[in-house]
Amino acid sequence: MPIRRLSKRLFKVPNIRRFSLHRLSDEHLVLQKTCRSFAENELKPIAAQLDKEHKFPTKQIQQLGQLGLLAINVSEKYGGSGQDSLAMAVAVEEIARGCGGTGAIVSIHNCLYTNLLERVGSHDQKEKFLRPFTRGTLGCFALSEPDAGSDVSAMSTTATLDGECYVLNGTKSWVTNGPEGKAAVVFATVDKNLKHKGITAFVVPLPSEGLSLGKKEDKLGIRASPTCNLIMENVRIPRSNVLGEIGDGFTIAMTQLDNARVGIAAQALGIAQAALEVAVSYAGQRKSFGQPINQFQAVKLRLADMAIKLEAARLLVWRAAVECDQPGRSTKESSMAKLAASEAATFVTHGAIQILGGMGYVSDMPAERHYRDARITEIYAGVNDIQRLLIGDTVIKEYQ
């Protein structure tokens, strides 16, 4: 029996979407060059200081806003750049290459605030909560809670209808940009008995009466990016601030996280690229036994493995970015990209420290900062254990 006929009898062949990108377009290359120049001149020189002082890059965020890099996927109608998700991935990688914390700020704002408002906001909501956020004003995404991270349906923040307002009560944790943001997309349940079907998305101005910020978290890495809790006690939000329909919140959040994982993956690429460059440069200058250490086989093999993981992850990220703009969900592609890029980042930054030896362990060199910055990419936007479950579930369904 011919192999083709036999294979069709034994296995279902999944409907696999084609990824046809072979190289960046001229427009993407121009964007890449612009972001790389900005990172080299404006971010790289101050990245260590931002990290050490936990300092928010106010001036640089304003500059990025003027360049249109805080509304990459927003249509020009509402003040955005009108570019695609691949452009977002390219930009975030280059910015994170200069400063991992700044890359996180840009990634979260683009993927989990402006793109979300562009996608599900009404015209009035976009005029009020999107247009002003395209040139330097930041937004936040408040989904996780102290007792509800991977299990989103377990959230305890409530929204109770009272006349023409919803009254929000609860605490949201790990809110990136919270101390600097001027609005947040907040998820709350209108009925806990409905579990995920009761979750609804609201856009909440910052500040609002009854809303307070928790302490700014002292984090291992990405310290230029501020993170805090949002604590809501009888916060009244107009019904007009509901995003989508009542009960749409779970679907909105899960779909948006597909986009966010591409942004996190791109951030991981930038951190890994910076670490690889540090390792290659150091290996060419450091001499041992009378020759540069890049002439030793062990160093060459380590650099090769680092480069391979980075390049392979980049292709997955670009593929996922392209798929994000196609009809339907791109969960598998986004999860694969986030998983591969984040693990590549931790692998490459670890390898960089090994190549630098003792110099990799001190803050005089950026290798240790890259190592700390990389670690979070395996955690937020869904820990990698969850990514593997999502990928596995999707693969099984494709062959059933």
Q: Is the dihedral of CA 228, 232, 238, 242 positive or negative?
A: positive
pLDDT at 152: 84
Give per-residue pLDDT as tens, 382-393: 999 999 999 999
Question: Buried b vs exposed e over 233-268: b needs ≥16 C-beta within 10 Å?
Answer: eebebeeebbbbebbbbbbbbbbbbbbbbbbbbbbb
Average pLDDT over residues 133-148: 94
Which three-class secondary structure state does DSSP give residue 83?
coil
3-state secondary structure of 15: coil
pLDDT digits (tens, 9 = 90+) for 24-51: 999 999 999 999 999 999 999 999 999 9
Q: Which distant-in-sequence residues (6+ apart) come within 8 Å of 177 by Cβ?
A: 105, 108, 109, 138, 139, 140, 225, 226
Over residues 196-223, the mean pLDDT reads 97
Q: Which of the pair, 177 or 10, is modelled with greater confidence?
A: 177
For residue 65, give the 3-state DSSP assignment: helix
Q: How confident is the model at residue 14 (pLDDT cuts 50, 70, 90)?
A: low
- Strand ranges for the chain from DSSP E: 139-142, 158-162, 165-176, 183-189, 199-205, 211-213, 227-238, 242-243, 287-288, 291-292
How far apart CA 258 and CA 263 sit, in angstroms, is: 9
Distances in whole angstroms, Cα of residue 219 to Cα of each of 206, 223, 365, 374, 383: 23, 6, 19, 12, 17
**Average pLDDT of the segment spanning 356-369:** 96
Average the pLDDT over 257-274 and give the result: 97
Question: What's the mean pLDDT when you consider all of the chain?
Answer: 93
pLDDT at residue 147, as a whole number: 87
**pLDDT (0 to 100) of residue 18:** 54
Per-residue model confidence (pLDDT) at position 6: 38
Q: Specify the pLDDT at position 15.
A: 54
pLDDT, tens only, 79-98:
999 999 999 999 999 999 99
Structure tokens at 361: 């362990």
CB 78 within 8 A of CB 130: yes
Q: How confident is the model over 140-145, as a mean pLDDT?
A: 96
User: Would you place residue 358 in the very low, low, confident or very high pLDDT band (cuts 50, 70, 90)?
Assistant: very high
Rounded to an integer, what distance in angstroms lies between the CA atom of residue 103 and that of residue 106?
A: 5
| pLDDT of res. 5 | 42
What's the CA gap between 351 and 354, in Å, rounded? Answer: 5
Q: Does residue 12 have a pLDDT over 70?
A: no
Whether the CB-CB separation of 379 and 61 falls below 8 Å is answered with: no
pLDDT above 50 for 1:
no
Give the model's confidence band at 218: pLDDT under 50 very low, under 70 low, under 90 confident, else very high. Answer: very high
> How confident is the model at residue 74, as a pLDDT?
96
Tens digits of residue pLDDT in 271-313? 999 999 999 999 999 999 999 999 999 999 999 999 999 999 9
Name the band, by pLDDT with cuts 50, 70 and 90, for residue 17.
low
Per-residue pLDDT tens over the stretch 167-197: 999 999 999 999 999 999 999 999 999 999 9
The predicted pLDDT at position 20 comes to 58
Q: What is the pLDDT at residue 249?
A: 96
Residues facing residue 237 across a β-bridge: 166
Domains of the chain, first to last: 26-138 (1.10.540.10), 140-249 (2.40.110.10), 251-398 (1.20.140.10)
pLDDT at 3: 41
Helix axes 331-356, 297-324, angle to 10 degrees: 160
Specify the pLDDT at position 154: 85
